[in-house]
Chains A and B, each alone.
Chain A
Amino acid sequence: MDPTLPLDVSVQIDSPQVVVYRLWFQRPGDTGWTLFANGTDEDSSNASGHTFTVGPLPAGSKLGYQFILSGNPATVYRVAMGLAQGGAPLPGQAQLLEGVTDDTGVAVRQGQVTP
């Protein structure tokens, strides 16, 4: 990651669930997380997804994500999250979150990455 350039984070929802999500960043030395994106499947269902811009962020910063999905029980879900700078994807930083909803139709995926 280039610490002099802003970071573009794209989110694309590929499956038929209601999705709400939030994205945060945390700089080295920060004690908490700072929210920079709050979206739903309605924003992020087109082919190019929805892109949020954050930073520039210093080296060692983290990005946090949380996706909450609700659909029919035991159905496949797929959410793609990509990182880019200056229009070029950051290699090895794409997150493909996929699985099957539980017997109530719910799935939750959250975590963090260091670009």
Chain B
Amino acid sequence: MIRRALAVVALLLAAATGRAGAQQGDSLKPWAIPPSPAFTFLGTTPGQVERPTAARSVALGLAQDLASGGIPRGLALDVAPWSFVPGLRIPLRRYQTDPAAYALANTQLSIGSIQAKGDTADTDLALGVRTTLYDRGDPMTDTAYTNAVRKGLAQCQSTSGPTDPDSVIVACARRVTTEIRTRWRDDHWNAASLAFAAAAGWSFAGRSASDASWLGWSGWATASAPLFKGGQLLGQLRYDVRGGDHGLSYGGRAYLGTASTNVFAEVTHDGVDTTGNPTSWAGGLELRVLQSFWLSTGVGTVAPPGAGAKTVAVIANLRWDVSTLPRFGRLIP
């Protein structure tokens, strides 16, 4: 009953903020590994990210843009470099047994460009890379999971030829995958993982490729490990260099509970934002009331760095922070 009431409150608050589904969450957890480091470096969230699978299409697109005047604006590319290497194959069995192939398959390059902020015609461009070296929370590494999905997908196959509408088969495959994945995740939510990301950027005068200045770089690292049977230790680092400024931000957290309810203790430090106290701590309770809505409450110093966009509710004399993501992000898959 309480859970349902909280869900209603969360929905109302989400409607009030009007951007719950769209936000990437970087403003909530500036130290977490971003899905696309180049976009995070530029401080942008593109509406649509191109994910080409062929090197040729990427090269042609960029060459055309460059030929027409210089650095293109509005670039938003995410590419998996392994898929560009002729003859390289990473089938599932290799993904599950070869650590180097696993890391390569989970390495992603991102490229982004925007008009520089402020009253200027300059163009900012960033390149980013992100890799997961190890993640026991990736269901595709578990043969029990992949065997279950393989068995489940068999029920989605057509029996009379390739004539069923794609939409019917896709719906069946999504249902099978989501059901099995959700069950699997509930059993592996606190698995160990290790991932890194980095991004670097340049500013170009106007759009001229020949007149560039260095903006800086950012690096991220995330590691997690199980804490007893129902808990997790999570550490996240971010290092930023912008012009002459640099700073280390980090968050460390221990929590006990389940994938949807936990008690937590955390410490965070913002090495970039010099306003106020850069270090904060907190302990409390966090609940997932719906698939994408989290409530958290507790004691400690102020909310973590960068949490200005957070929505707050007061229920039963307790302050509850409402978010579309857990306070600490986990790895992407």
A residues contacting B by CB (< 8 A) are 12-18, 20, 22, 24, 26, 32-33, 38, 40-42, 45, 47, 64-66, 68-76, 78, 98-100, 102, 104-106, 108, 110-112
Contacts and interface: CB of A to CB of B under 8 A. Distances in A.
Interface of B: 51, 53-54, 78, 80, 82-83, 89-95, 105, 138-140, 146, 149-150, 153-154, 156-158, 160-163, 166, 169-170, 173-174, 176-178, 181, 333
Contacts of A45: 91-94
24 contacts: A13-B91, A13-B92, A15-B83, A17-B92, A18-B146, A18-B149, A20-B154, A24-B161, A32-B161, A33-B161, A33-B163, A38-B157, A41-B91, A41-B92, A42-B93, A42-B150, A68-B153, A69-B173, A72-B140, A76-B51, A78-B53, A100-B51, A104-B174, A108-B166
Contact of B53 (A16, A64, A69, A99): A99
Contacts of A78: 53, 83
A1 to B, nearest CB: 19
A106 B92 contact: no
Nearest to B178: A104
A28 to B, nearest CB: 15
A99 B50 CA distance: 12
Contact of B162 (A16, A66, A105): A66
A108 B169 contact: yes
B174 A75 contact: no
Contacts of B176: 70
Contact of B83 (A20, A69, A76): A76
B134 to A, nearest CB: 15
Given A15-B91, A20-B154, A45-B91, 6 more contacts: A15-B90, A16-B91, A22-B158, A64-B162, A70-B173, A108-B169
A105 B161 contact: no
Contact of A20 (B54, B90, B157): B157
B94 to A, nearest CB: 8
